[in-house]
């Protein structure tokens, strides 16, 4: 069946009332973005309080679905058969063709729900429901009517054109990206941070990302893996500017000057500081990490408190209460898992002490930092200034 149009239904509207149009406009913008990469010509627009994607050329159904199923803010996608011919007999004929093709197994219950938006149309919706129901029963004797809980709810709308649809394919939910400010994702090559970015983007937040690499201790391949992950997250969030910060000098300096068991925490504090600076420079309002309580030594509550205290921006940790398996499940669902488990090391693993502090004492950490602070301030500034930007789309 070739559908001329897709009706887009959204569920949650964060900005209600007068701001609703902002939400709708952002959604249309994101739909257009997503469809740019699909072969064919499409028109996404608002029409009498609804959002439609109109196909203006031939297209591949699966490609369109795949793209739309990634647009946050979409609750349901309904493929619509559209006919200009409003002749009553023609409508009946089309409805029967539709039912025949979409439901090859005729053993279903159904209900017809028609709407006559075009009030000039001579037949009332009650009558249309009855006539179409009867026609379906006659043609497919196995089908039965159930007005309370039908397997198939067939909608027929008489508008400027006739819309026929019954399928509702779930979208990803959430809110359109761009309706909720921007945040800086600390993106490593692991499983967690891409999932964290996905989850925050799902709430309508635009994503920038930062990756700290430490050549030659971390390889070009490790960096490429992060670029690949950013591109995978960008399939949902829209383009991600990925800032790549050279962290080698800072790591070496900390390694030389500070107690090794505190290295991880101290490095993480500098990552957060630099990420915050980059966020500020690029209009970001918050940071995002893939941390989850207790997952590793640097994610005990004490460690989190210690890395948190160097930031003044809010730090979003959407995975904070998740078990590893729950995070793995999401990463598989969104398609980042396979890339995340490629074996290239990220920068932390090289400098990890054999026995890192698990419950860092804040006072002691601050003290360790005191002597290196000034020099590191300078180095952090250099790192920010010399960051490379890769556009991930």
Near ligand ATP by CB under 6 A: residue from 3, 103, 212, 351: 212
Local structure of residue 134 (DSSP, 8 states): H
Near ligand ATP by CB under 6 A: residue from 166, 179, 188, 237: 188
Least distance CB 177 / Mg ion (angstroms):
25
Least distance CB 292 / ligand ATP (angstroms):
7
Interaction between residue 265 and ligand ATP (CB under 6 A): no
Local structure of residue 106 (DSSP, 8 states): -
347 binds, among ligand ATP, Mg ion, none (CB under 5 to 8 A by kind): ligand ATP
Angle between helices 373-385 and 248-257 (to 10 degrees): 170
* Region binding ligand ATP by CB under 6 A among candidate stretches 41-49, 62-70, 180-188, 373-381: 180-188
262 binds, among Mg ion, ligand ATP, none (CB under 5 to 8 A by kind): none
b/e code 99-133 from CB counts within 10 Å (16+ = b): beebbeeeeeebbbbbebeeeeeeeebeebbebbb
What are the φ/ψ torsions at residue 217 (nearest 5 degrees)? -75, -30
248 touches 270 (CB < 8 A): no
291 binds, among Mg ion, ligand ATP, none (CB under 5 to 8 A by kind): ligand ATP
Near ligand ATP by CB under 6 A: residue from 193, 237, 336, 368: 193
Angle between helices 192-201 and 324-334 (to 10 degrees): 70
Tell me how many degrees the CA angle 304-307-308 measures, rounded to the nearest 5.
Answer: 80
Tell me how many degrees the CA angle 232-183-26 measures, rounded to the nearest 5.
Answer: 75
Q: Which of these, 39, 283, 290, lies nearest to 185 by C-alpha position?
A: 290
Beta strands in 225-322 (DSSP E): 240-246, 286-288, 315-316
Least distance CB 55 / ligand ATP (angstroms):
39
Rule CB under 6 A: which of 267-286 touch ligand ATP? 271
Strand partners, 165: 155
Least distance CB 287 / ligand ATP (angstroms):
9
Minimum CB distance to ligand ATP smaller for 171 or for 189: 189
Least distance CB 193 / ligand ATP (angstroms):
3
- Unique residue bearing structure tokens 């941070």: 193
Q: Is 72 exposed, middle or buried (0-12, 13-18, 19+ CB in 10 A)?
A: buried
Interaction between residue 188 and Mg ion (CB under 5 A): yes
274 binds, among ligand ATP, Mg ion, none (CB under 5 to 8 A by kind): none
* Region binding ligand ATP by CB under 6 A among candidate stretches 84-92, 148-156, 173-181, 294-302: 294-302
Conformation bin of residue 174: beta by default, left when phi > 0, alpha when psi is -120 to 50: left
Least distance CB 378 / ligand ATP (angstroms):
21
Near ligand ATP by CB under 6 A: residue from 163, 179, 180, 298: 298
Over the window 328 to 347, marking each residue x when it contacts ligand ATP by CB under 6 A and - when it does not, the resulting string is: ------------------xx
Least distance CB 289 / ligand ATP (angstroms):
4
**How many residues touch ligand ATP (CB under 6 A)?**
21
Residues in contact with 34: Cβ distance below 8 Å, sequence separation at least 6, in sequence order: 67, 68, 70, 71
336 binds, among Mg ion, ligand ATP, none (CB under 5 to 8 A by kind): none
CA separation for the pair 231, 25 (Å, rounded):
24
Least distance CB 193 / Mg ion (angstroms):
7
- The H or E element that residue 80 is part of is strand 76-83
β-pair type (286-288, 182-186): parallel
Q: Is 148 exposed, middle or buried (0-12, 13-18, 19+ CB in 10 A)?
A: exposed
Over the window 121 to 160, marking each residue x when it contacts Mg ion by CB under 5 A and - when it does not, the resulting string is: ----------------------------------------
Least distance CB 264 / ligand ATP (angstroms):
8
What is the rounded end-to-end Cα distance, in angstroms, of the chain?
A: 32
Near ligand ATP by CB under 6 A: residue from 24, 157, 276, 291: 291
Local structure of residue 247 (DSSP, 8 states): -
Query: Site residues (CB under 5 A) for Mg ion?
Result: 188, 190
Query: Site residues (CB under 6 A) for ligand ATP?
Result: 186-188, 190-193, 210-212, 271, 289-291, 295-296, 298-299, 346-348
């Amino acid at each position: 069946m070739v559908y001329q149009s897709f009706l887009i239904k959204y569920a949650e509207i964060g900005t209600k009332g007068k701001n609703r149009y902002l939400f709708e406009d952002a959604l249309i913008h994101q739909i257009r973005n997503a469809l740019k990469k699909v072969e064919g010509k499409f028109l996404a627009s608002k029409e009498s309080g609804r959002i439609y994607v109109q196909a203006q050329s031939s297209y591949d159904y699966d490609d369109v679905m795949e793209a739309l199923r990634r647009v946050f803010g979409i609750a349901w996608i309904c493929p619509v058969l559209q006919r200009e011919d409003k002749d009553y007999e023609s409508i009946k004929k089309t409805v029967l063709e539709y039912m025949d093709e979409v439901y090859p197994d005729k053993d279903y219950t159904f209900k017809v729900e028609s709407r006559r938006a075009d009030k000039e149309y001579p037949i009332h919706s009650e009558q249309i429901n009855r006539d179409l129901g009867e026609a379906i029963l006659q043609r497919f004797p196995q089908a039965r009517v159930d007005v309370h809980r039908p397997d198939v709810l067939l909608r027929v709308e008489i508008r400027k054109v006739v819309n026929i649809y019954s399928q509702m394919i779930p979208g990803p939910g959430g809110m359109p990206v761009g309706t909720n400010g921007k945040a800086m994702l600390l993106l490593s090559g692991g499983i967690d941070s891409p999932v964290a970015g996905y989850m925050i983007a799902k709430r309508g937040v635009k994503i920038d990302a930062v990756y700290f690499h430490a050549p030659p201790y971390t390889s070009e391949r490790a960096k490429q893996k992060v670029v690949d992950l950013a591109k995978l997250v960008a399939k949902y969030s829209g383009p991600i500017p990925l800032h790549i910060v050279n962290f080698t000098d800072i790591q070496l300096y900390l390694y030389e000057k500070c107690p090794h068991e505190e290295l991880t925490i101290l490095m993480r504090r500098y990552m957060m500081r630099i990420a915050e600076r980059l966020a500020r420079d690029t209009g970001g309002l918050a940071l995002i990490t893939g941390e989850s309580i207790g997952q590793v030594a640097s994610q005990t509550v004490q460690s989190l408190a210690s890395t948190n205290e160097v930031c003044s921006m809010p730090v979003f940790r959407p995975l904070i209460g998740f078990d590893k398996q729950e995070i793995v499940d999401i990463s598989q669902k969104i398609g980042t898992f396979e890339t995340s488990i490629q074996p290239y090391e990220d920068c932390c693993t090289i400098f990890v002490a054999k026995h890192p502090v698990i419950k860092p004492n804040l006072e002691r950490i601050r003290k360790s930092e005191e002597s290196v602070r000034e020099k590191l301030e300078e180095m952090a500034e250099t790192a920010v200034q010399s960051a490379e930007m890769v556009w991930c789309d």
